[in-house]
Chain A
Amino acid sequence: MGYLALVLHWHLPYVRHPEYPRFLEEDWLFEALSETYIPLLSLFERLHREGIAYRITLSISPTLAEMLQDELLQTRYLDYLERLIELAGRELRRTEDEPHSNKLARMYLARYRNCRQIFRERYGCNLLNGLIHLERKGVVDLICSSATHCFLPAFQVVPQAVKAQVEVAVQSHIRNFASHPKGFWLPECGYYPGVEEYLKAQRLPYFFVETHGILYADERPRYGVYAPLYCPNMVAAFGRDPESAKTVWSSRDGYPGDPVYRDFYRDIGYDLPLDYLREFLPEEKIRVSTGIKYHAITGAGDDKRLYNPKAAAKKLELDANHFISQRIEQFSRLSTLMEQPPLIVCPFDAELFGHWWFEGPEWLEAVLRGAAASSAIRLTTPGQYLEELPRQQIAQPCFSSWGNKGYAEVWVEGSNDWIYRHLHQQTIRMSELAMRFPNEKGIRKRTVEQAFREMLLAQASDWAFIMKTATAVPYAVQRTREHIYNFTRIYESLMSGSLQQEWFLGVETRNNLFRKIDYSCCVT
């Protein structure tokens, strides 16, 4: 027998633009809601209703939690769904003479209607309600990540930034979920020795690292990544299992790349005439993914077969069974090497399921059902595991991340390294503000609080990642500059005693996350 801990990290950066009627990058959230978050919540609830004994850990980043409960974004998501329902309806008519495509159009129409119904009726437009419910039922452990998903190793030199990121995250989690986070997700699994001190100070008992974070610890890990390590301060580090990750993502036999699964790239947003799509597109001209996709991966090249949901459903059952049998086989191998039951930790970005891998949520559901039914697998969470097996080896994990090449290269490289002189400087200046204005009230208090929000927003790892991977670079650059600019302007205003109130109120209305925020943690 062995323990299996599945961990899904839900995260998107804070994107909210009330100053525009429709904003392209807000679709990041809307796509993830329809394709990942609502399907995952639905499946977790379904399993619970059916009495399936499963446990899973969900890391909800504070920026995502803040967006999920934001009324403007909730309303805009419903508008987004209405547009999609209208488009899917139009597709039904357009494909009347193409039975296969018509069936798929019907599938999308049903999905979007279902999303609307679940979002509006079941959760009252706020998915946090569903997450809170699942945690109270004891099937889900909710953990948090840093306030704005900051890549913490890049802030070692200004530890007050790390402290602030952790403290604000915990305060926000408690307000949003009415419970203390059970553990912590280091953004990008970015670990440096010593970061655990800030976790311990916030009563966060564990975190996750990439495989080599454990394997290259300052003492050899007795059981590899198949048991956690306690850092010297007794906060536990859980390492990612490379074998199960490979089973999902291997180039030879990885699941999501199977030719029968639905293709991510082909989308009617690019395939159909602009005139037909116009009213659904931003500014009536920017071609975007609509989410309505009719093709299967098929193979290399653009010549794709139409997607066959039945064939995909058959395959995902096979893939889920394969995953389960591989874990059982892995447990039996590991058991001969260990004096305690092995633990396999499988962390994933939640957005892989549904958004990138369309069939991912169903695969996960089949895995949870299979694992719960197996006597050889015990589904667990790190918190539950530590309660049952509190005696573990003590060693200091190694600096690491789950980014390309395993260290900090993704977030510290030629395209994005320019940001750090500003981000470090504003952290130092924020400490100055916190010390100079410790017990303020009214507008001055709000001003210092907004400076703190701007500092945190600029520190999101997403901007550096996007600059590196060249996806939406102008937006990432603009966001970074915007928050540095806002912070600096507020800082200089406070120092000189001259604040332009109209401008400030605009910033405060726009970048409004963490409504109750305490900047005293910035005091050094």
Chain B
Amino acid sequence: MNGEILQSIPIEELVALAREEGYEEGGAADRATLTEFILENLEDRDREQEQENSPSVRVEESKYRITDRAPVECAGSEIYPIADRYNQKKIVFMVRDPHWAFAYWELDNKAYDTNPDNEEGAQLILRVYEAGSTQHPCFDIPIQFSDTSWYIYLPNQDCSYILDLGIVSQTGYLSLARSNTIHTPREGSVGSQGDFLDLHSEFSAYYGGGNSGSIPQRILAVGRE
């Protein structure tokens, strides 16, 4: 997540996100304050996570590590030129985690001839829908014609989403391409299931947490620091 992405989120969601991150100040907070608060928190968490998890990464890295010196440079783009795009109109949506998804897209040559950035009042957007309600978009993200991918914050876990690449102009909305449907993963266990309740409660205690317990990491920190 970066400031640019947070700028694109509706203010109510930004407030909700900040509260999730522990923002407790009363009164109306402005977008800049909330953004700064969220980013600081995320950076702290990333740092902690990195520290906690670095041994596991180091262990897997060790498979590919034969020198501690700068990696040997390889020929890449010169020997193996690859296309930037494939002259098609499409958008692809990929799950990353319960609240973030990645989208990439491209437009065909025809669309490039009519760059909407040059058209007065026209704005290229990503329009996010909850699947099943494509009449009512959740929110729009303004993008530039030169953009080709984006990380998108999705408010709900365990929920299906679809994405449109489209243009909003004075004449209305035009969808250029529609993505596949994705389903965000759960970030906790589901509600109790009848007679499973008692036993599961025991297991919750056993794991030391309930529904919103932290995700168990693959390999916890090794005391080598």
Contacts and interface: CB of A to CB of B under 8 A. Distances in A.
Interface in B174-225: 180, 182-183, 185-193, 196, 199-200, 202-203, 206-207, 215-225
Contacts of B66: 24-25, 27-28, 31, 288-289
B147 interface: no
Interface residues of B, number: 74
Interface in A447-478: 462, 465-466, 469, 471-475, 477-478
Given A31-B66, A212-B216, A254 B92 contact: no
A372 interface: no
B203 A212 contact: no
Contacts of B207: 215, 224, 242
B135 interface: no
A425 interface: yes
A300 B95 contact: no
A287 B216 CA distance: 37
Contact of A406 (B57, B76, B215): B215
B64 A28 contact: yes
Nearest to A422: B82
A82 interface: no
A421 B56 CA distance: 29
Interface string B90-126: 0011111110101010100000000000000000000
B222 A256 contact: yes
B68 interface: yes
B133 interface: no
B13 to A, nearest CB: 20
A184 interface: no
B152 to A, nearest CB: 12
Interface stretch (A111-119, A131-139, A396-404, A498-506): A396-404
B59 A472 contact: no
A351 B185 CA distance: 30
Contacts, number: 233
A288 to B, nearest CB: 5
Contacts of A472: 64-65, 71-72
B28 interface: no
B72 A349 contact: no
Given A220-B192, A474-B74, A409 B96 contact: yes
Task: Return the 5 tightest CB-CB contacts between A and B, nearest first.
Answer: A251-B221, A399-B185, A406-B215, A407-B97, A485-B80
25 contacts: A24-B67, A28-B63, A210-B218, A211-B216, A216-B188, A217-B189, A217-B190, A220-B193, A245-B216, A249-B221, A250-B220, A250-B221, A251-B52, A251-B223, A256-B222, A270-B68, A286-B69, A289-B67, A297-B224, A300-B225, A399-B186, A406-B215, A407-B97, A408-B97, A421-B148
Given A216-B187, A245-B219, 20 more contacts: A28-B64, A28-B66, A154-B94, A212-B215, A212-B216, A245-B220, A249-B222, A287-B68, A289-B65, A289-B67, A337-B202, A351-B62, A398-B186, A399-B186, A404-B53, A405-B49, A408-B96, A424-B92, A478-B74, A481-B80
